[in-house]
């Protein structure tokens, strides 16, 4: 996927999580979680800019997702006291959202024929659903449009329930 497709997949993946946070009475967590997931939407593709890392290599794995989640969780844990929040709660939330943000990216790339090596370093097998090529402009924009639409519909429905 390209940038637009990854943002769309991230919005689609986050909509139910954001809704759950809103329904639980945690609007700040819903907003921050969405910002984290969208902020991480392109991080695995930074491998294009690092000469010794193959594209769709280590940065496109569940290990990388957990590593990023651990970093975001640590930032939440150590930053929580200055915000007057519970470190364990914010740390766990950061871990979950950081991991989820990278997993959302992987979901987008699993739609392409190239796939991703989800379980590297345990296995070099790539996983793919062969839905569309990464450079398919229509598919990328359709994912973005669908992500925006689902996010808006979700927010409207939650507002009516709450």
- The pLDDT value recorded for residue 70 is 98
Whole-prediction pTM = 0.94
- The pLDDT value recorded for residue 32 is 95
- The pLDDT value recorded for residue 14 is 98
Dump pLDDT digits (tens) for 87-112.
999 999 999 999 999 999 999 999 99
Residues of the chain with pLDDT under 50: none
User: SS in 3 state form for the chain?
Assistant: CCHHHHHHHHHHHHHHHHHHHHHCCCHHHHHHHHHHHHHCCCHHHHHHHCCCCCCCCHHHCHHHHHHHHHHHHHHHHHHHHHHCCCHHHHHHHHHHHHHHHHHHHHHHHHCCCCCECCCCCCCCCCECCCCCCCCCHHHHHHHHHHHHHHHHHHHHHHHHHC
- The pLDDT value recorded for residue 162 is 72
């Amino acid at each position: 996927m390209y940038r637009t497709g990854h943002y769309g997949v991230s919005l689609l993946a986050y909509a139910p999580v954001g809704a759950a946070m809103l329904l639980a009475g945690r609007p700040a967590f819903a907003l921050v979680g969405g910002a984290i997931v969208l902020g991480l939407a392109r991080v695995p593709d930074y491998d294009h800019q690092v000469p010794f890392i193959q594209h769709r290599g280590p940065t496109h794995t569940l290990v990388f997702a957990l590593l990023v989640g651990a970093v975001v969780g640590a930032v939440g844990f150590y930053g929580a006291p200055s915000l007057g929040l519970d470190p364990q709660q914010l740390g766990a939330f950061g871990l979950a959202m950081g991991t989820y943000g990278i997993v959302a990216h992987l979901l987008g790339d699993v739609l392409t024929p190239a796939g991703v090596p989800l379980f590297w370093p345990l296995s070099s097998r790539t996983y793919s659903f062969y839905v569309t090529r990464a450079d398919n402009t229509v598919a990328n924009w359709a994912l973005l449009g669908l992500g925006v639409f689902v996010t808006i519909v979700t927010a409207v429905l939650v507002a009516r329930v709450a």
